[in-house]
Amino acid sequence: MELSLIKQFLKVDFDDDDNIIELMADVATDYINAAVGSCNYEDARVRLLALVIITELYEKRSYSVEKAGVKAQYTIRSIIAQLQAEQEMTDDEA
């Protein structure tokens, strides 16, 4: 995911936090892949999920997605559940 898109979503217009933002993007990707399996990051839901996770990590400087806010937790869990169901359907078809 492009750093410029992430920074736009975070409303960050400075470069001081670029390294930490990139690290959080890697964490979000790893979290999604661990929860769902390999994902298609062309899927808008996957990109949005990553942005929501990155935002929660960045704004709260949390070490864990589980500490995310209630609304973010709902969004994260809902999208992950959808992606997991789709992954299971794909696996069953294979």
The model's pLDDT over 9-54, given as tens digits with 9 standing for 90+, comes to 999 999 999 999 999 999 899 889 888 888 899 999 999 999 999 9
Residue 65: what pLDDT? 52
* Spatial contact of 21 and 10, defined as CB atoms under 8 Å apart: yes
The whole-angstrom separation of Cα 17 and Cα 50 is: 17
Residue type, 29: T
Residue 17: what pLDDT? 94
* Tokens describing residue 29: 């990707």
pLDDT at residue 62 greater than cutoff 80: no
* Tokens describing residue 76: 């994260």
Rounded to two decimals, the pTM is: 0.71
Which helix (H) or strand (E) segment holds residue 69: the answer is none
pLDDT at residue 68 greater than cutoff 60: no
Provide CB contacts within 8 A for 24, sequence distance 6+. 53, 54, 57, 58
**Phi, psi dihedral angles at 68 (to 5 degrees):** -65, 160
How long, in residues, is the chain? Answer: 94
